[in-house]
Amino acid sequence: MPNSPTDMDEIAKQGAATAQNFAEIAELSVKIWQAALEGQGEAASPMKALEEINKALWSSPEALVKASTDYWLGQQNLWLETMQRWTGPEAPTPDTRGGKRFAHKGWTESALFDYIKNAYLFTSDWMQQQVTDADNLSDSERKKLDFYTRNYVESIHPANFFALNPEVLEETVTQNGENLVRGLQMMLDDTERGHGKLLIRQTDMDAFEVGRDMAVTPGKVIWQNNVLQLIQYSPSTEKVHAKPLLFIPPWINKFYILDLNKKKSLMQYLVAQGYTVFIISWVNPTEAQKDETWDSYAQAVLGAVDVALKETGQKSLNIGGYCVGGTLLGTLIAYLGKTNDKRVASATLFTTQLEFSDAGELQIFADEETLADLETQMPDGYLPAQTMASAFNMLRANDLIWSYVVNNYLLGKEPFPFDLLYWNADSTGMPAKLHLFYLRRFYMENGFADGGFEMLGEEVAPTDVKIPLYHVATKEDHIAPAASVFRGVQMLSKAQNRFVLSGSGHIAGVVNPPAAGKYQYWTGDTAAKEDLAAWLAAATETDGSWWGDWDEWLKKRSGKKVMAREAGAVTGVLEDAPGSFVLDRFDLR
């Protein structure tokens, strides 16, 4: 071990150089983050993040002085501990914190990389603590600042950089740089696939094909208009319930999350339980959809309702909606209640928010500044698919952006084939007017919950909903938090509500077939419970999937059994499921 004055001077120089590198990392990471997340605009840029962080810090000069002193003393102590590890007979135990991104042995076995790791973790904790301690911030400002800070901290993670990642350095030596050659080729391919923007692959995009590996439940496209195709699934039982079921997926993703494969397909499960099932496949918009609005999408759904009723010879149907598809459905059934329209007998709302006072992490993208920036990105009347995908990836940047930057471009490894990530990467755009309306009227103004929401020429409110409702929230949902969903349930005083809380998150908590034997769900009475915590304290927990519970609820509202119906027997067939709308991919345009 080095212990002479000359050696100590050299160690000190290395420490100073490392500190300087850490400062340069922050500056370089800003440029890298901007490149990786290009298209989000000024409101979501890392420079704005730094501005907001500095603004919060300077709001209290005395606190800033103390925080700065604490920071530099902490960094000094880290360096002294590293010096002790290098030179002392009783070196401190390496810190094993940091999660899977610091899992490689090099982060603990090497004193230098252990210092880099600990300096980063200390900086990360310090920056996020300043957000917690900042004065004079509203809840919304604090949430936005927390988001900016978290994303900035994730972008400067030392694992993101070639020279600071021991695993990458080890692989580069072992492979004589071939990993970097492969990584560069993947980066070039992803830039080409993104039409000049880096479209980071999260899975093997050639391993799956829609209609072959996913979206394979047999059916027919029986009707379409400017914004949707209507699919009717073929029966798999001799008899079916008389009343059909129509499903409205979110238009921010493609519908086949509900028909991902034979083992995970909710659509196949429902058909097997004897339901006549219809699902909407939304268009991937272009300039042709520039004039579409909330009302026009609602009218398109009513058109699908009429076709499903004509096809089955029924006067009413059951209907379901997922995420924003459920929000549209919530306003639509309020309109039907207000106008005394009986075409919908019951509704099921999956991870659906109707009350947006505290609406989860997407709310950070809803303010006038962000909306003004979004408008500049939609000159042709629609939001490009890549922009929406980047926004969702930013919510989990470590997992959905930076881990793939390292795996793909630095280690040169092909990402693992995973159907869920293929679906996640199969992005959709958004009609401009519809998207801006949704962000403003719901996330910013909480317009439906506050009453006076105009829908198809009528002023509607939650109290206009009069039909039975089944609600599913998921416990770990960051898109539609369970507490927010529960507040929406409490507004629907005239409806008969059954509320179910599923384990896991926004996708896995919904797409959870009984055969998987995963997670659990909670049920209970919502009438006397003022918030989710009180409801959960009194709820009953059941292992496994909630699908069976929903089936029991749904079949009581689906009528007697009749002979199974051939898809499109009345209205005709346009093409086989899954249809052409879902095959329209942004990266193939």
Q: What is the pLDDT of residues 32-70, one digit of tens each?
A: 445 444 434 443 445 555 566 666 665 666 666 666 677
Residue 180 is predicted with a pLDDT of 87
What is the CB neighbour count within 10 angstroms for residue 370?
A: 20
d(CA 6, CA 9): 5
Q: What is the pLDDT of residues 243-255, one digit of tens each?
A: 999 999 999 999 9
Pairing of strands 245-248, 277-282: parallel
Residue 16 pLDDT grade (very low, low, confident, very high; cuts 50, 70, 90): very low
Residue 126 is predicted with a pLDDT of 85
Q: 579 and 249 in contact (C-beta within 8 Å)?
A: no
Say whether 380 sits in a helix, a strand or coil.
coil
**Do you find a cis peptide bond into 285, omega within 30 degrees of 0?**
no
CA distances from 135 to 60, 62, 130, 149, 558 (A): 7, 12, 10, 16, 55
What value does the mean pLDDT take over residues 116-132? 86
Say whether 350 sits in a helix, a strand or coil.
strand
d(CA 36, CA 149): 17
Residue 23 pLDDT grade (very low, low, confident, very high; cuts 50, 70, 90): very low
Domain ranges within the chain, ordered by starting residue: 5-173, 219-363+429-588
CA distances from 349 to 164, 271, 319, 461 (A): 47, 19, 9, 17
Residue 139 is predicted with a pLDDT of 79
d(CA 435, CA 383): 8
Which distant-in-sequence residues (6+ apart) come within 8 Å of 14 by Cβ? 112
Q: What is the pLDDT of residues 345-380, one digit of tens each?
A: 999 999 999 999 999 888 888 888 888 888 888 999
Please provide the average confidence, as pLDDT, over all residues in the chain.
87
**pLDDT > 90: percent of the chain:** 59
pTM given for the model: 0.86
Residue 54 is predicted with a pLDDT of 64
Q: Would the CA dihedral through 424, 429, 434, 439 be positive or negative? A: positive
> Which residue in 199, 227, 267, 323 is the catalytic one?
323
Which distant-in-sequence residues (6+ apart) come within 8 Å of 175 by Cβ? 412
Q: Which residue has the tokens 């470590």?
A: 398
Determine whether 51 is an active site residue. Answer: no
Yes or no: domain 219-363+429-588 corresponds to CATH 3.40.50.1820: yes
Closest by Cα among 571, 577, 572, 575 to 313: 571
Asked if pLDDT for residue 71 goes beyond 70, the answer is no
Closest by Cα among 382, 290, 301, 373 to 335: 301
Comparison of pLDDT for 205 and 268, the residue scoring more: 268
Residue 141 has, within 13 A of its CA and on its CB side, a CA count of 11
What value does the mean pLDDT take over residues 90-105? 76
